[in-house]
C-alpha cells in the first residue's frame, strides 16, 4: 500500500511538472481588418491593376484625351468600380484582339460607363450631363 501511494504521488508529481510549462489557449474574435487577404481579393486587385495598366497606355490615354475625358477622373472611376464591373471590363480587355480597332471599342465602353454613372448621379466627370438625382 505504501508503495502504491509513492508510485501514485510520483506519477502525479511528474504529470504536474510537465503541465506547468503549457500555456492556456485563448479564443477571441478576429477583427475584419486583421484577416489576411484572400486569394479572391488578390485576384481582384490584379484585375483592377490590369485595367489601370491598360488605361495608362499611351495610345489609350491619347484616345481618351481626344474624346475629352480627364485621365485623373478616369483613373478615379476605375478605382471606384465594383468587383463585378472590374471583372467584366478585364474580361473584355483579355478577349480583345491586339488591333487598335478593338481598343477603340474598350475606350468607348469606358466612356459610356462613365457617361451612364454621370447621368445616374453617382459621379460628375462630364460637365455636359445632367444628373437624374
Could you read off the pLDDT of 14-62 as tens digits, one per residue?
877 776 666 667 777 776 666 665 667 888 888 888 888 888 888 888 8
CB-CB contact of 108 with 60 (8 Å): no
pTM: 0.46
CB-CB contact of 48 with 86 (8 Å): yes
Quick one: how far is CA 99 from the chain centroid? Answer: 29
**Which pLDDT band, with edges at 50, 70 and 90, does 101 fall under?**
low
d(CA 64, CA 111): 8
**Selected residue with higher pLDDT from 108 and 102:** 108
**Selected residue with higher pLDDT from 73 and 2:** 73
Cα–Cα separations (whole angstroms), residue 84 to 41, 88, 117? 12, 6, 15
pLDDT in tens, 56-87: 888 888 888 888 888 888 888 888 888 888 88
Q: What is the pLDDT of residue 57?
A: 87
d(CA 118, CA 89): 18
Domain ranges of the chain: 36-120
Q: Give residue for cell 499611351.
A: 58
**Which pLDDT band, with edges at 50, 70 and 90, does 126 fall under?**
confident
Following DSSP, what letter does each residue of 3-22 receive, concatenated?
Answer: HHHHHHHHHHHHHHHHHTTP
Amino acid at each position: 500500500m505504501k508503495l502504491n501511494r509513492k508510485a501514485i504521488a510520483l506519477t502525479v508529481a511528474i504529470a504536474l511538472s510537465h503541465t506547468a510549462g503549457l500555456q492556456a489557449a485563448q479564443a477571441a474574435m478576429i477583427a475584419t481588418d486583421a484577416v489576411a487577404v484572400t486569394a479572391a481579393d488578390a485576384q481582384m486587385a490584379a484585375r483592377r491593376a490590369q485595367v489601370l495598366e491598360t488605361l495608362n497606355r499611351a495610345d489609350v490615354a491619347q484616345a481618351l484625351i481626344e474624346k475629352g475625358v480627364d485621365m485623373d477622373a478616369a483613373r478615379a472611376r476605375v478605382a471606384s468600380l465594383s468587383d463585378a464591373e472590374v471583372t467584366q471590363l478585364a474580361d473584355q480587355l483579355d478577349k480583345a484582339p491586339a488591333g487598335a480597332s478593338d481598343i477603340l471599342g474598350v475606350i468607348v465602353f469606358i466612356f459610356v460607363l462613365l457617361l451612364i454613372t454621370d447621368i445616374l448621379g453617382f459621379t460628375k466627370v462630364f460637365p455636359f450631363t445632367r444628373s437624374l438625382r
